[in-house]
Structure formats: C-alpha cells, structure tokens
Chain A
Amino acid sequence: MAERTVTRADLCEAVYQKIGLSRTESAALVELVLKEITDCLERGETVKLSSFGSFVVRKKGQRVGRNPKTGTEVPISPRRVMVFKPSAILKQRINAGLGGNAGGEAHGP
C-alpha cells in the first residue's frame, strides 16, 4: 500500500466528523490549535501533550560548518531549534502490529 500524506484538510475532516461543527469552524479550530502551540514555542516554552509527545525548544551555540559542495568553512550562527520527543504511548502505537513485518509497513490495530 502506498504511503499517504495526511494534511490539514484531513485533520479538519476528523474534527468535522467527530465533533459536529461546521467545516469552516473545524478548519478554524485546527488552525487555532497549531497557532497556540507555535506561539508557545516561539516564546521558548515547552509544549507537553500527554500520550502524544512534547515539543521542546533548544538553544544551539555557534559552530563551524562547511559548505558541502565547496568544502569552505562557514560559521553557523547561534540559533533556536525545536525538537519533538514522542511519548512512550506514541512509540508503542507505531510499533503495534509490526510483528515480524520486515517491510516496515505498520498497520494500526
């Protein structure tokens, strides 16, 4: 089975199906959830979503990088990056139904 890409539209559809709000309002709420998470991270705050995972902002110091094409050294300025730490439950869900499936094509329960 080909791998699909799930997008905002699918999340809106899920909210629409499960909650019973209009499509427009479902879309606005999906957007708002993402906006609140983004705003929080932008302030440098950690976002912990139980049974899903947490988003953490990390500060990186300056380091020397290299242009892979030319090999010239270039300084990489200090920056903030965001990392996602999946919860144990999420990791379990992803590996459920993987019993000896060498293709790595995981199926949900």
Chain B
Amino acid sequence: MIKSELVQRIAGQNPHLYQRDVENIVNAILGEIVAALARGDRVELRGFGAFSVKNRRARAGRNPRTGEHVAVEQKCVPFFKTGKEMRERLNRPQPEVAAK
C-alpha cells in the first residue's frame, strides 16, 4: 500500500471529506512525527510502535569498492520499535494464510 492508496481507503470510509482533505490529514500526521524526530523527540503510539532518534558516533569507515579509508561523521538516525500489540497482531494465527 502506498500513501495515495491509504488516502483512498480513508476517503472511502469518510464520504463527507474531500480526498484532498484526507491527503492533508495523512500529511499532517506524518509531518508531526517528522517534526518531532527532527527536534530529537520521541513519538510513542501505543499499540503501534515508537519512533525515536539514535545517535551514531563518528567513525572511520571504508569505501567498500576501493578499500579507501573515509571518515564518517557523527549522525542521528531514526529508529522504530514495534509496539507490543502490533507484534502480537503480526503473529496471530491467520485463517486465510493457514487455509493455503
């Protein structure tokens, strides 16, 4: 599923909203998560998971093709930890898969 499909599915369940509104809603949600991470904040969505920012220290890397040494600067990377309920839902017995 891509973003436009997500928008369509939500718009289908909310006939009183324009598709453009739904698009703005999805973008507002994602934008809020991105803004929080850019500030270095954590985003916790119970039942889904939590986004956080992890710090990676500067290190000496190598160009894998040439073997050359390169300095890698310290940086921050986004990190996602799956929530408990999500984890359980992914591993719940699925009738349609089991039937195959």
User: How far is A32 from B21 in the complex, measured between Cα atoms in Å?
Assistant: 14
Q: How many residues on B have C-beta within 8 angstroms of the other chain's C-beta atoms?
A: 54
- Asked if residues B28 and A15 are in contact (CB atoms below 8 Å), the reply is yes
Dominant secondary structure at the A interface: mixed
Question: Does B72 reach chain A (CB closer than 8 Å)?
Answer: no
Inter-chain contact total with CB atoms closer than 8 Å: 161
List which B1-44 residues lie within 8 A (CB) of chain A.
1-3, 6, 9-10, 13-14, 21-22, 24-26, 28-44
Residues of A within 8 A of B10 (CB): 29, 32-33, 36
**For this complex, into which size category does the number of interface residues on chain A fall?**
35 or more
User: How far is A79 from B89 in the complex, measured between Cα atoms in Å?
Assistant: 11
Question: Does A18 reach chain B (CB closer than 8 Å)?
Answer: yes
Question: Does A91 reach chain B (CB closer than 8 Å)?
Answer: yes
Mask: chain B, 38-56; 1 = CB below 8 Å from A; 0 = not: 1111111111110101010
Name 7 A/B residue pairs within 8 A (Cβ), A-sorted. A19-B25, A38-B48, A42-B90, A49-B30, A94-B37, A96-B38, A104-B55
Residues of A that sit less than 8 Å from B by CB: 3-8, 10-11, 14-15, 18-19, 29-30, 32-34, 36-38, 40-42, 44-53, 57, 79-84, 86, 90-91, 93-98, 102, 104-109
